[in-house]
Structure 1
Amino acid sequence: MIVWGVDLYLSKIHIENYRSIKKLDLSFEKGKNVIVGKNNSGKSNIIKAIDLILGEKSPTWNKSNNITDNDFFEGNTDEDIFIWCELIKNNEEYVDLSNFKGAFFKIKDQRGNYVKTDIDLNDKTSLLYYMSEDFAAELNKGYDSKYKKEWIGNKPYCLRSCEEELENFDHFAFAFFCKKDENGNYVKEMTFFYKQIHESDWYVCMNANLRNDLLQSAIIPSFRDPKSQLRIANYTWYGKLLKECIPNENPELDNAFENVKEASNKIFGGLQSRICSRNTQIAFPNTTISFQFNPDTRQDIYKSTLIYVDDGFNTKLEDKGAGIQSSVIISLFDNYVRNIAHTNGSLLAIEEPELYLHPQGRRVISDKLDHFLDYNKNQVIITTHSPEFVCTPDDSINLIVVKKDDNKSVATNFYFYNIKLKQILIKKQNSEMFFADAVILVEGADKYILEYIAREIGEHLKCENDKLGKNWLNDYNVSVISCGGKHEFWKYAKVLKHINIPYLVVSDFDFFRNGLDTYFDKTDFVKQKENLARLKSQVIETIRNENEIEKIPDICEEIKNDILFEELRDAKKRAEEIFNIIKRSKGAYKRLDDIKNENVKQEIEQYLIDLRKLNIFILTGELEDFYKIRPRRSKEQGVLEIIKKCENKYISDFVDIEEFKNALIVFLNSCLQLNLKEEGHVHEM
């Protein structure tokens, strides 16, 4: 049976005691899955775990040296490695296993019932029993065993084919177990499980060799090695791709074989005569040796295939850069999946596809990955540090953030299902927040002011016994993110909270008046929103001045007279006066000092202090209110003007930094959890 378009994908992985991972659960989605995190966080170890189970392996994989002591968590071989991979297909689809040449067996108990088990990854006692030496010994007792084997596959002794057995099932899993025995040997087992999606119990099956027939995979590690990743064998996808290109009958190919054979006989004839002579006797008696440029049979000719790339200089693929190698490997696997494999789902896992590529080259690779996805029929898992693979507003991506916590790799999923949250991905410069240990969120150009203030205060704050240092933002892996306005804060805060990256919002006082209520609403701070509404209503009551409002008609008359006598400058001033009266009557206030009622003002001051516990630091005025020397330009241009003046001076010469300093200290204490001591006043040398 040939079935097109089967939608099968890796949905879950559970890893225990493998490399930097003590215990980890991850979910994957159809389509694009992007794993991000700083260097040495454990991203590669997730890919290695997937490769261990689903990667293309030799039929004798369990005898290969794919596990060493270093693969056990912290090198502790007393704790066994366990990895569980789960695959899902759509209910209406069929899995094509017509090319599977092997067999596996289900297990029946003494009553003739199939052995099934409920998988609890927190209590693997029953699961591990079926992967144990005791269970294997019981199975091999033959007639004396309390279990019987029922063979499934394409062998003569099988009761039915794999397709017949699995066509009504939609949940598949492979469990890998490895321990080091008392003789120093690595004992490895892999078991196959399957069930219907609405059931809790899994059928237990021995022999997991059909994993590459269920889900064809290609794993491309960060170290590009075409010889390894394009290994030619009859069981590898690349070998199958090349073999498919060799026709069964082709007279031109036969003639080419003969011509090459004649040429090689002429070239190596002298050497062949010498080693076969009686004086040399390299070969056994009655045997001859020949030297050939290519295999003797058409069936093996594909194994001698070499890939050359001409980019102005024609050389083998392995001599080219990592970018070209990545592009060729992805394209070849895409071609194999579309034209040879045809069926089921395919998984491409690639580490750091951006390696050694300029931005345009990265986008080329990103486009190739999108093409491979084929409208999410296939699946891609990427580890990256590049925004080109994170910032994809056209696609729904499953983002996985990996961090180190107490020397253990931990990870969190975030799926951008919401179009408003997905807007974050449009700004490539902000994607660095996914790699940060902590984040400061600001509105816009105040990012640059805050970064300069951070440098200055770092010279005068001590952490433990050392200075914090002017480069502490980089040293502690902190990102200052410009969100593009106070109404955007909630989007970033929601994502950062979900992926467990601590953050602090730093905004001017206008956020209290306009934006904070929306922030609370979107981030589910109900009580704080109610308190905010009460305070804002009190402010409006104190600011509203009925006497001022009653003056408006008189001012309007004065404006008429000014216009009549062409006193336009005076008319403009009176118009601005009316505008300010109306603003004040509606509660328009830009700074805390605009609130004249001392009781209300003190209550708001305390409220702002309490907000810091919610990772929000609101200044008492606008950015411009803190300038000691006002720049000639306003907004972003004014910020850049001040920054330019700071090349040989302190930022505190131009800006009153005290409140910004307090905000950074709140961040250092709450987000980075540092114990600080102030060595001296800022600006003292």
Structure 2
Amino acid sequence: MKELDLKFEKGKNIIVGKNNSGKSNIIKAIDLILGKNSPTWNKSDNITDNDFFEGKTENEIFIWCELKKSDEELLNLSDAKGAFFKLFDKYNYTYEKMDVNFSNKDDLFKFSTDEGQARIDSDNYKKEWIGTKRYCIHGFEDELNDMTDFAFAFRSTKESDEYIKEMLFLYKKADDKEWLFSVNANFRNELLQSAIIPSFRDPKDQLRITNYTWFGKLLRKYIQVDDSDLNDAFGKVKDASNKLFKDLQNNIFYQKNQIAFPNTEISFQFNPDAKQDIYKSALIYVDDGFNSKLDEKGSGIQSVVIIGLFDYYIRNIAHTNGSLLAIEEPEIYLHPHGRRVISDRLDAFLDGHKNQVILTTHSPEFICSPHEDINLIVVKKDDGTFAKNLSFNDVKTKQILIKKQNAEMFFADAVILVEGADKYILESIAEEFGTKIRINSNGIEKDLGRNWLNDYNISIINCGGKHEFWKYVKILNEFKIPWLIIADFDYIRNGLNDFFTKLSYEQHFQDGLNALKSKINNSGKYKSISEIDNAETKQEIEKYISKLSEENRIHILTGELEDFYRLAPTYDKEQGVIEILSTAIEENNNISEYVKIDEFVNALEFFVENILKLELVEDENKE
């Protein structure tokens, strides 16, 4: 991706989008800045040629990660270790600050270069150290407690086959324009404890045991090295290993070796001898009918265990004010029930929005959660990467998320909205329509195709009634997803006015509708245009319907769905739809044998030409 700005909220942040839209790049950027490894460590392979835009290493990689502290949050830095420095200008008698300007990154990183380091070491500046080292002037809490905005700026370039990595730590008060800063300050996990779980699950990496990883800290804190029972058990294991390997030990280090290496013995052990390293030998086994190590299990159980361990760590060990869990595609290799278990586990991790979750997904189980507020981020590629946020934090917007099938609209390139079960009829009509329509694609004529809805990433969404259209359109507009509405005739009389009002259409749309409604209402409450006897009124309605479709993408049918059945089914509503579709499948007929499809076809033709921007070609060989 060339450029992308994202804002993550407290609570659950869900990133959705088609494959190759850039979702993985977002998680990688978060991991690079906030993950366990130092972003600027020159031996790390955290940057490759493929990370540069279009793989061109003459470009640069720049990441700005900003953390904001709310008024009710308190920094708890009592366990923080280490130190960083800020610069004091001895001649101007003030601290060096930066007015951050992304268009001039050289100025932002001016102290990271060799020349900048020379300036820091000159007589012009004094390093004022902050932290827990003996040479520090201030402690972390004294320096940072009153600050509200924190940021990390990272840049990488490639010069002579070497990746140059630079990083700044910046902080300020909310009302300040300029930032205090420190070069290469390794002060990330102290502000926000994070765990990043990429799509490729690797417990050996995500649960790496060192003295600086969260899992290593958990085990070190949890395992008491002076536990008498533990020491007795290790002693017995050591005695057993000495007996088992006695002959091998004697043969390797036989008597002649004692001449060169006097007073030296060799031993084989099943556990570390040093007390401080006991925690590093811990292994996780899972017994799901077959007892084996965690890294030999499926990614689903791996995700559950990693999330559970991190949750325990931040609640019982780290005691931070807020923590971040970023997970890529948590649904991988999981059946629907397993996905819901993971989703519930993530909701529990949020701890009332104290913590933050960022996840990428293609699964509705993680989107359709009416109990938690959700910040949904749709990522699309359209002449560059584009992302749009929308918060689902009230009853009206959450209603849309209750239906899992509706979640697919967030992945769609375009959407057709219908009132209810006519979704299934329209999908069948669309299949038949695709077999009878040809398009001109770059000068080549071809069939649109039976599966054109999938080919062009189109979703048909059941809105659950005509009064719900405006809610869906509002969301689709926010995400810049084009749409078409297909509604029954009575939408003109009941629902369309409210649609115009809720979406703040210009007044003339309502004026024109009200004038037409007055004529319809005076004649009766009709559900079909065929019930209107007045030819002039009927002509006005037909003209209005045509204009509404062309100008507003709202296609009004001349009746209800039932009016288009060639033979009425035994049942009504959704059961009737199922009956018709089942009959068509059993008799191996097109849907047009049971439903008059002309008006639906007109709507689909409009959709293909005006929303998909495809050129239709008449096919004289097809009926």
Give the TM-score category using the shorter length.
Answer: over 0.9
Q: 1:494 to 1:133 in 2, by over 3 A?
A: farther
Return the offset for 1:133.
Answer: 4.4
Distance 1:633 1:253 in 2: 71
The residue identity in structure 1 corresponding to 2:151 is A
1:280/1:461 Cα in 2 relative to 1: closer, same or farther (>3 Å)? farther
Amino acid aligned to 1:447? K
| One-letter amino acid matched to 1:155 | K
Q: Name the residue aligned to 1:31.
A: 11
Equivalent of 2:56 in 54, 61, 76: 76
Deviations along 1:596-622, one digit per CA (max 9) or x if unpaired, are 444443333232222223221111222
In the alignment, the residues of structure 1 paired with residue 38 and residue 233 of structure 2 have an alpha-carbon distance, to the nearest angstrom, of 32
2:124 equivalent to 1:117: no
- What does residue 506 of structure 2 align with? 526
| Kept in 2: contact 1:441–1:506 (CA 8 A) | yes
1:435 counterpart residue number? 411
1:605 aligns with 2:542: yes
Structure 2 CA distance for aligned equivalents of residues 680 and 630 of structure 1: 32
Matched with 2:517 is 536
Cα contact 1:90–1:170 (8 A) shared by 2 = yes
Deviations 1:267-314 (A, max 9, x none): 223333333347789997875543221111111011010011122222
The one-letter code matched in structure 1 to 2:79 is: N
1:153 equivalent to 2:131? Answer: yes
Letter in 1 for 2:404: K
Partner of 2:611: 671
Residue deviations 1:627-657, cap 9 Å, x none?
A: 2223233222222222122221111122221
Residue of structure 2 equivalent to 1:177: 155
- Amino acid paired to 1:453: I
Equivalent AA in structure 2 for residue 535 of structure 1: L
- For residue 593 of structure 1, the aligned residue among 513, 520, 530 is 530
Structure 1 contact 62–189 (Cα < 8 Å) conserved:
no
Structure 2 Cα separation of the partners of residues 60 and 272 of structure 1: 44
TM-score by length of structure 2 reads 0.94
Label 1:455 to 1:336 Cα distance change in 2 as closer, same or farther (>3 A): same
Deviations 1:80-133 (A, max 9, x none): 000111111122432122222211111233312112222243554532434444
Aligned to 1:371: 348
Structure 1 pair 410–62 and aligned structure 2 pair: CA distance change class (3 A): farther
Counterparts in 2 of 1:649 and 1:79: CA distance versus 1, 3 Å: same
In the alignment, structure 1 residue 337 sits paired with structure 2 residue 337:
no
Note the C-alpha offset of 1:26.
0.7
In 2 relative to 1, CA 482–342 (structure 1 residues): closer, same or farther, beyond 3 Å?
same
Matched ranges for 1:493-504 at <5 A:
493-504=473-484
Q: CA 1:681 to 1:651, structure 2 compared with 1: closer, same or farther past 3 Å?
A: farther
Distance 1:678 1:279, change over 3 A: farther
Shift of 1:624: 2.0
Contact 1:22 1:409 in 2 (8 A): yes
Instruction: Identify which of 66, 70, 76 aligns with 2:46.
Output: 66
How big is each residue's C-alpha offset from its partner over 1:402-461, in whole Å with a ceiling of 9 and x where there is no partner?
12223x432110101331121001111211111111111001111111111111111122
What is the CA deviation profile of residues 54-76 of structure 1, one whole-angstrom value per residue up to 9, with x for unaligned ones? 01115973431110101111101
Q: Which residue of 1 aligns with 2:598?
A: 658
Residue in 1 aligned with 2:169? 192
Aligned to 2:338: 361
Q: Tell me, in whole angstroms, the C-alpha distance in 2 between the residues paired with 1:178 and 1:436.
A: 34
Give percent identity, aligned residues only: 60
Give the distance between the partners of 1:59 and 1:206, measured in 2 at CA.
13
| Secondary structure, counterpart of 1:261 in structure 2 | helix
Q: 2:255 aligned with 1:318, yes or no?
A: no
Any conservation in 2 of the 1:35–1:383 contact (CA below 8 Å)?
Answer: yes
TM-score, scaled to structure 1: 0.86
Does 2:387 correspond to 1:411? Answer: yes
- Unpaired stretches in structure 2, ≥5 consecutive residues: none
Deviation at 1:346, TM superposition (A): 0.6
Instruction: Specify every segment of 5 or more residues in structure 1 that has no aligned partner in the other structure, as ranges.
Output: 1-20, 544-583
Task: Write the mapping of 1:232-631 to structure 2, written as runs, cut at 5 A.
Answer: 232-277=209-254, 288-406=265-383, 408-463=384-439, 464=441, 465-527=445-507, 528-541=509-522, 543=523, 584=524, 588-612=525-549, 613-631=551-569
Task: Report the residue type matching 2:81 in the other structure.
Answer: K
**Given that residues 442 and 507 in structure 1 are in contact (C-alpha distance below 8 angstroms), is that contact kept between their aligned partners in structure 2?**
yes
Aligned twin of 1:135: 116
Q: Could you tell me how far apart the structure 2 residues matched to 1:93 and 1:453 are? A: 56
**1:107 aligned residue:** 87
Larger deviation, residues 309-318 vs 77-86: 309-318
Matched-pair contact (CA < 8 Å) for 2:33–2:39: no
Classify 1:49/1:415 alpha carbon distance in 2 versus 1 (closer, same or farther; 3 Å): same
Give per-residue Cα distances to partners, 1:316-357, cap 9 Å, x unaligned.
111211111111111111110111001221101111212222
Distance 1:593 1:121 in 2: 63
Q: Give the SS at the match of 1:173.
A: strand
Q: 1:126 to 1:529 in 2, by over 3 A?
A: farther
Q: CA separation in 2, counterparts of 1:670 and 1:254?
A: 76
Greater gyration radius? 1
Deviates more, 1:167-176 or 1:614-623: 614-623
CA 1:281–1:630: 2 relative to 1, 3 Å: farther
Once the two structures are overlaid, the 10-residue window that deviates more, 614-623 or 437-446, is 614-623
Deviation of 1:235 after TM superposition, in Å, equals: 0.2
Between the aligned partners of 1:281 and 1:668, the Cα distance in structure 2 is 87
Q: Distance in 2 between matches of 1:188 and 1:678?
A: 58
* Residue 518 (structure 1) shift: 0.8
Native 8 Å contact 1:35 1:43 kept in 2:
yes
Alignment check: 8 A CA contact 2:100 2:178 kept: yes
Secondary structure of 1:111's counterpart equals: coil
Once residues 451 and 251 of structure 1 are traced to their aligned partners in structure 2, the CA distance between those partners, rounded to angstroms, is: 70
| Residue identity matched to 1:126 | D
Deviation at 1:476, TM superposition (A): 1.1
Q: CA separation in 2, counterparts of 1:602 and 1:208? A: 74
